[in-house]
């Protein structure tokens, strides 16, 4: 762990964060708003990568965890008027509980079967939101009265700080002995169990950590947007974006997932002039990366460094 602070990756990341922190001094509010959303998405993608890349769980429903956190925080604030910070904490906690609910089938079924369970979880949450429209705002979405701040720069710094801290914690965890045990139990649970590691405990921990960061990020995003809606935090399409980000940036790298998310959101914005074709182009680029650079951006860069 200590040796990490002397690696090139650490200095590059530190330099990137410092450069990013100075951005509000000279770029427009529009760019800041875009990056703010991208940073929260980066946390979604990193949390997903911890489950998939390390614990080997194919979670098709990252938006189940995100949505529970986001909607819990939003409902508590909009319907009961609780303070923003309390709502964010409770949103993250609700998401942890959702993570435990999701972990139960994961301990019984594997691969595509678990993938489907997570997908079903998202569809159920979506149905629940639509059916209990009085509480959740239904298909129109929930308007949230409070926001953390309306200053674009401050919002940007909060998002950047949150993403950097999450990245440090998640990356540190992935490189720690716990991360190695997780990776082992993801690749060969029987053998990892035979070596004396408690797989159930480690997998549960991975779910809890992943859910905590997803929910926290979802709750923060809700208070940034000022609304919670199915289209922004629950829809399967949002989950697909999170998965594509992580695979694009490089699975099993944690940091790559954040890069992928930022790329995906910024690229989508750059392609806006192409109108309806934007999604097509982003998907096509992502497919080409999956086919020709299966390691993703960071995976390709790291393997080149390792070779030289």
Residues making contact with other proteins (CB under 8 A): 52, 58, 105, 108-109, 111-113, 115-117, 119-120, 123-124, 127, 130-131, 187, 236-237, 240, 243-244, 247, 276-277, 279-280, 283-284, 286-287, 290-291, 294-295
Q: Please choose, from the candidates 214, 71, 82, the residue with its C-alpha nearest in 3D space to the C-alpha of residue 130.
A: 71
Which residues does 200 contact at the CB level (< 8 Å), separation at least 6?
107
Shortest approach of other proteins to residue 14 CB, angstroms? Answer: 30
CA distance 105 to 62: 15
CA distance 158 to 153: 9
**Cβ closest to other proteins, residue 7 vs residue 187:** 187
**Cβ closest to other proteins, residue 29 vs residue 112:** 112
Element (H, E) at 304: helix 296-307
**Cβ closest to other proteins, residue 14 vs residue 237:** 237
228: β partners: 142
Q: Is 295 helix (H, G, I), strand (E, B) or coil?
A: coil
In Å, how far are 102, 150, 246, 250 from 236, measured between CA atoms?
16, 29, 16, 21
**Cβ closest to other proteins, residue 116 vs residue 180:** 116
**Cβ closest to other proteins, residue 100 vs residue 284:** 284
Q: Are 241 and 41 in contact (CB under 8 A)?
A: yes
State both tokens at 269: 């914005």
**Cβ closest to other proteins, residue 12 vs residue 284:** 284
């Amino acid at each position: 762990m200590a040796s990490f602070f002397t690696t090139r990756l650490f200095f590059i990341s530190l330099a990137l964060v410092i450069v990013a922190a100075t951005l509000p001094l000279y770029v427009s509010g529009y760019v800041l708003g875009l990056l703010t959303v991208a940073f929260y998405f980066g946390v979604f993608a990193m949390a997903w990568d911890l489950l998939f890349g390390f614990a080997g769980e194919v979670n098709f429903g990252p938006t189940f965890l995100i949505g529970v956190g986001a909607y819990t925080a939003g409902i508590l604030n909009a319907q009961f008027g609780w303070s923003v910070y309390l709502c964010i904490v409770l949103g993250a906690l609700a998401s942890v509980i959702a993570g435990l609910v999701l972990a139960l089938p994961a301990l019984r079924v594997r691969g595509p079967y678990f993938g489907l369970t997570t997908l079903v979880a998202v569809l159920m949450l979506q149905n629940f939101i639509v059916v209990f429209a009085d509480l959740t705002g239904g298909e129109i979405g929930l308007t949230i009265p409070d926001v953390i701040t309306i200053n674009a720069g401050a919002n940007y710094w909060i998002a950047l700080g949150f993403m950097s801290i999450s990245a440090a914690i998640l990356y540190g965890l992935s490189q720690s002995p716990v991360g190695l045990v997780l990776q082992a139990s993801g690749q060969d649970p029987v053998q990892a169990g035979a070596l004396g590691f408690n797989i159930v405990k480690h997998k549960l921990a991975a779910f809890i950590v992943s859910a905590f960061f997803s929910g926290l990020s979802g709750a923060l995003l809700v208070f940034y947007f000022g609304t919670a809606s199915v289209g922004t935090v629950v829809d399967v399409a949002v989950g697909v974006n999170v998965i594509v980000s992580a695979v694009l940036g490089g699975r099993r790298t944690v940091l790559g997932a954040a890069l992928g998310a930022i790329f995906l959101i910024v690229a989508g914005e750059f392609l806006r002039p192409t109108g309806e074709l934007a999604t097509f182009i982003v998907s096509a680029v992502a497919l080409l990366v999956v086919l020709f650079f299966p390691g993703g951006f960071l995976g390709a860069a790291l393997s080149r460094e390792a070779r030289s």
